[in-house]
Amino acid sequence: MKAKIVITPKKAVLDPQGKTVQNALEHMGYSGVTGVHVGKYLEIDLAPGTDPAAARVALDEAAHRFLSNPVIEDYRLEITD
Amino acid sequence: MKAKIVITPKKAVLDPQGKTVQNALEHMGYSGVTGVHVGKYLEIDLAPGTDPAAARVALDEAAHRFLSNPVIEDYRLEITD
């Protein structure tokens, strides 16, 4: 079982890394890009037999407490088999 | 229209950031975590009316050429509405 956490900067927060990638894409000739957001991706392997509901609660807390910065970042948690 | 690119270290490559997160999770009392992989996440906004097939080809090339390091990283590209 796996958990996937995607952490992205909030829309209202400046994203200089995304802006840089957007500029680079334009300079390299890739047109039609109107915005880029750069975030973090965490893939967590869980021991077989872990209760998905309990894992969701624990990882949601972990993501909120120390994997993301809730002031400037949003996160999305997904548990898959 | 949006493109999502997830860049992860190849399984055979050392992932010290992932190992650190795994240790941190264990020390914070979250058990049952058998592995953590940390990667990058890019969300690319595309101009409305962009041809999805052409965007996929262009972004696949961009991901391979300069958004990821194909020697040590894998990437996954997804185009959504």
Q: Provide the CATH number for the domain around residue B39.
A: 3.30.1280.10
Strand partners, B37: A43
Note down the domain range covering A24: 2-80
Q: How far apart are CA A29 and CA B57, in angstroms?
A: 13
Model confidence band, residue A10 (pLDDT cutoffs 50, 70, 90):
very high
Model confidence band, residue A45 (pLDDT cutoffs 50, 70, 90):
very high
The total domain count for chain A is: 1
Q: Do the Cβ atoms of A40 and B19 come closer than 8 Å? A: no
Contact A36 B30 (CB under 8 A): no
The CA angle B62-B66-B71, to the nearest 5 degrees, is 115
Residue B19 sits at the chain A interface (C-beta within 8 Å): no
Name residues 56-75 of chain B within 8 A of A (Cβ): 58-59, 62, 65-67
Position A57, amino acid: V
ipTM given for this complex: 0.87
Using a CB-CB cut-off of 8 Å, the residues of chain B touching A7 are 41
Q: Do the Cβ atoms of B60 and A25 come closer than 8 Å? A: no
Contact A41 B45 (CB under 8 A): no
Mean pLDDT of chain B: 93
- B8-32 confidence digits (pLDDT tens): 999 899 999 999 999 999 998 888 8
Residue among B40, B45, B59 whose CB faces A38 most closely = B40
Query: What predicted TM-score, i.e. pTM, was given to this entire model?
Result: 0.89
Q: Do the Cβ atoms of A32 and B50 come closer than 8 Å? A: yes
| B15 secondary structure, DSSP code | -
| CB neighbour class for B30 (10 Å; exposed up to 12, middle 13-18, buried from 19) | middle
Q: How many secondary structure helices (H) and strands (E) does chain A include? A: 2, 3
